[in-house]
Amino acid sequence: MSPNAHITSHRKPRRTATQSWVVRTGVAGGVLSTLAVAGAGSATAAEKPVESTMEMPAVNATLATSIAQSAAATQQTAFDYTVRAEQDKAADTARDAAKKAKQEADRKAEAEKKAAEAQEKRDAEEARASRATERKSLSAKSAASTSEDAAAAASTSTGSKSSNATGSAATLVSFLQAQVGKAYVMGSTGPSSYDCSGLVMAAYSQIGIDLPRVSQDQSTAGTQVSLSNLQVGDVLYWGAAGSAYHVGVYIGGGKFIGAQNPSTGVVERDLSYSPPTGAVRVM
């Protein structure tokens, strides 16, 4: 025995080959694990800058495009509303203008209608006044008539309906008396109805004398004669010569025959019934 055998040795026990391999393996595994963790951390750290530099610009561009599109849509909508508002305003203005124009046209039409009615009323009053004046004048002339007219009036008062006319005058009077009682129809010249000038024209055609068709022309168709010097067959007219509105034929005895109006038709009347304005002689 060695003299130092009892002294405790401070040397570490010798490891076996298996223990050494395990230790080395553990150390290696720890180192590798550490490296793996470090590598993972490095990889993560390396990937983050890539994400921030590669993906963020794409997101920002998409967002910017969306915002731009939204702004454009909003602007277009605002423009559409503005255009529509202008169109509505223009339509309202046009309607107001049309309404005002119609009101003005209606006002003018009403004013013109009233003016025409007033003028028509004045014309009627003037015509009545003119006829009244003419009748007064004729009444004065009749009062100062000759003895021939006085005699004719006397004959009338006895109820005589005929005259002493001969020849053409007798034929004329006979035809006229045969028409008494027939209807008055404006524009008619016989044989069943007449207007005033149509009857005069038809009567004179019986004795071969052609007269104008209308009373205005018939009032100037012959020689103007005084109402105080009438003869059988003279054409009597009412109104001014050349613009007469009615005609008849003097048949003697202070009487005339004429187509008066639609109410009376063809009648025989005294001159005092409706004194004429003048007379023309065509025979």
CATH code, 170: 3.90.1720.10
Cα(281)–Cα(232) distance, rounded to whole angstroms? 9
Mean pLDDT for 224-247 is 96
Mean pLDDT for 122-133 is 69
The DSSP output letter for 14 is P
Distances (CA, A) of 223 to 97, 119, 143, 277, 281: 64, 36, 24, 14, 5
Residue 229 has pLDDT above 70, yes or no: yes
Cα(282)–Cα(256) distance, rounded to whole angstroms? 16
Residue range of the domain that includes 260: 147-281
Please indicate, yes or no, if residue 58 is contained in any of the structural domains: yes
Tokens of 283: 């025979």
* pTM, entire model: 0.45
Q: Which of 118, 144, 170 is the last residue of a domain?
A: 144
Please tell me whether residues 137 and 152 are part of one structural domain. no
Residue 264 makes CB contacts below 8 A (sequence gap 6+) with 184
Cα(203)–Cα(190) distance, rounded to whole angstroms? 10
How many domains in the chain? 2
The whole-chain average pLDDT of the chain stands at 77
Please tell me whether residues 111 and 200 are part of one structural domain. no
Structural contact between residues 275 and 283, judged by C-beta atoms closer than 8 angstroms: no
Please tell me whether residues 109 and 159 are part of one structural domain. no
Chain position carrying tokens 């068709």: 213
Instruction: Check residue 189 and give its pLDDT.
Output: 94
Q: Is 257 helix (H, G, I), strand (E, B) or coil?
A: strand
Q: Which of 82, 114, 144 is the last residue of a domain?
A: 144
Please indicate, yes or no, if residue 188 is contained in any of the structural domains: yes
Instruction: Check residue 245 and give its pLDDT.
Output: 96
Please indicate, yes or no, if residue 12 is contained in any of the structural domains: no
CB atoms within 10 A of CB 60: 10
Burial 30-55 (b: 16+ CB within 10 A, else e): eeeeeeeeeeeeeeeeeeeeeeeeee
Please indicate, yes or no, if residue 11 is contained in any of the structural domains: no
Q: Which of 128, 144, 160 is the last residue of a domain?
A: 144
Query: Could you read off the pLDDT of 40-93 as tens digits, one per residue?
Result: 554 444 455 444 445 556 667 788 787 888 888 888 888 888 888 888 888 888
The DSSP output letter for 240 is S
Instruction: Check residue 21 and give its pLDDT.
Output: 44
Q: Where are the beta strands (DSSP E) in the chain?
A: 183-184, 193-194, 223-225, 235-238, 246-252, 255-261, 265-270, 278-281
Nearest C-alpha neighbor of 281 from the set 223, 240, 215: 223
Query: Could you read off the pLDDT of 147-163 as tens digits, one per residue?
Result: 344 334 434 333 334 44
Query: Could you read off the pLDDT of 15-52 as tens digits, one per residue?
Result: 555 455 444 545 445 544 544 444 555 444 445 544 44
Query: Could you read off the pLDDT of 161-217 as tens digits, one per residue?
Result: 444 566 899 999 999 999 999 999 999 999 999 999 999 999 999 999 999 999 999
Structural contact between residues 233 and 279, judged by C-beta atoms closer than 8 angstroms: no
Please tell me whether residues 161 and 139 are part of one structural domain. no
